[in-house]
């Protein structure tokens, strides 16, 4: 199976980007074709053979990745698998691409693989980086209902069938939107602890737009994908969880502003998932109200 990789960058981590590209070049098997997208910024120097695209403006994470997908032909059809990697990450082993090939070849219904993210110094995987509710054991691989945006592999047939990431989300929850659409189309998602991307430990709230985007996109996610009966349940649960976590006053103000924005702005096409998909998500351990 042909493997490609999409990396988006703001151009501000040239050393980390070069290290990532070196780790991709060292992968076993046929070479991985790489596209680096400068998301509103110039692309730093890259090795020969790496394609680059420089966008005149920042399209956000999903928009930048969608441009990278199309660089491999419509819906990425020139390759069979696309890796999506954060530009400050590093593939820990030389066999990750080969493990992806084996996983997709072995299971024809496998659509997406989520890698394990580990801190390069401590080896610790943050709980939030295990895409399931029972996250206490990050070394346990399993079927899951979503995936990690900057450390994953997607079968391009999935993108051709259900579409790419939602551009308008800009940042936050775009992976879950794609995951729900893929699951509704009959594809499966695996979390694989043996496929590792080293990435420095960070807090998602480091992004200035975090609280607003998380709230707005949570509403959009529900409006786009959930049966009407589940929308108030899902959003009510997340409202309660947000209050229980006791964010700061400015953070809570930004969150409620985003929540309101999610209801008053267009969310894109609505394609509610089938009830059998709701049951599938429930059997996989995460009903779409949590």
Instruction: Decide if 289 is inside a domain.
Output: no
Q: Is 115 exposed, middle or buried (0-12, 13-18, 19+ CB in 10 A)?
A: buried
Which of 172, 198, 224 is the last residue before a domain boundary? 198
* Cβ proximity of 277 and 184 under 8 Å: yes
* Together in a domain, 218 and 268: yes
Do the Cβ atoms of 218 and 231 come closer than 8 Å?
A: no
Same domain, 215 and 97: no
Question: CA 202, CA 47: separation in Å to the nearest integer?
Answer: 28
Structural domain total, the chain: 2
The pLDDT tens digits of the residues spanning 25-83 come to 999 999 999 999 999 999 999 999 999 999 999 999 999 999 999 999 999 999 999 99
Torsion of the alpha carbons at 238, 239, 245 and 246, rounded to the nearest 10: 170
Of 148, 165, 198, the last residue of a domain is 198
Residues 56 and 147 in one domain: yes
Residue 212 in this model has a pLDDT that exceeds 70: yes
Domain assignment of residue 290, yes or no: no
pLDDT band at 203 (very low <50, low <70, confident <90, very high): confident
Mapped onto helix, strand or coil, the DSSP state of residue 52 is strand
Domain check: are 186 and 218 in the same one?
no
Q: Which domain holds residue 270?
A: 208-284
- Asked if residue 73 belongs to a domain, the reply is yes
Average pLDDT over residues 195-218: 86
- pLDDT at residue 205, rounded to an integer: 57
Please tell me whether residue 39 adopts helix, strand or coil conformation.
coil
Averaged over 112-134, what is the pLDDT? Answer: 96
- Residue 207's pLDDT band (boundaries 50, 70, 90)? low
Nearest of 21, 22, 56, 59 to residue 42 by alpha carbon:
56
Whether 116 and 254 map to the same domain: the answer is no
Coil vs helix vs strand at 81? strand
Q: What is the dihedral of CA 138, 131, 83, 52, to 10 degrees?
A: -110
Same domain, 170 and 258: no
Distance CA 73, CA 156 (A): 10
Among the three residues 198, 221, 241, which one is the final residue of a domain in this structure?
A: 198
Contact call for residues 99 and 69 (beta carbons, < 8 A): no
């Amino acid at each position: 199976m042909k493997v490609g990789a999409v990396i988006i960058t703001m151009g501000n981590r040239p050393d980390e980007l070069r290290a990532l590209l070196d780790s991709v070049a060292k992968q076993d098997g046929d070479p991985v074709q790489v596209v680096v997208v400068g998301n509103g910024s110039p692309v730093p120097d890259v090795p020969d053979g790496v394609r680059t695209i420089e966008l005149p403006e920042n399209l956000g994470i999903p928009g930048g990745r969608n441009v990278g997908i199309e660089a491999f032909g419509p819906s990425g059809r020139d390759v069979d698998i696309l890796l999506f990697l954060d530009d400050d990450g590093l593939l820990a082993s030389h066999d990750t691409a080969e493990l992806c090939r084996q996983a997709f070849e072995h299971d024809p219904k496998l659509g997406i693989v989520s890698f394990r993210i580990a801190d390069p110094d401590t080896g610790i995987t943050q709980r939030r980086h295990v895409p399931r509710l029972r996250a206490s054991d990050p070394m346990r691989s399993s079927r899951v209902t979503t995936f990690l945006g900057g450390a994953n592999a997607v079968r391009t047939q999935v993108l051709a069938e259900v579409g790419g990431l939602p551009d308008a989300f800009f940042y936050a929850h775009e992976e879950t939107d794609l995951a729900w659409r893929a699951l509704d189309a009959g594809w499966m998602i695996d979390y694989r602890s043996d496929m590792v991307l080293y990435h420095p430990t960070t807090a998602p709230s480091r992004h200035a737009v975090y609280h607003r985007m998380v709230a707005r996109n949570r509403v959009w996610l529900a409006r786009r994908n959930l049966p009407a009966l589940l929308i108030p349940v899902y959003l009510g649960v997340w409202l309660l969880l947000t209050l229980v976590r006791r964010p700061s006053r400015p953070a809570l103000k930004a969150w409620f502003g985003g929540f309101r924005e999610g209801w008053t702005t267009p969310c894109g096409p609505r394609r509610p998932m089938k009830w059998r998909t709701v049951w599938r998500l429930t059997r996989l351990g995460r009903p779409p109200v949590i």
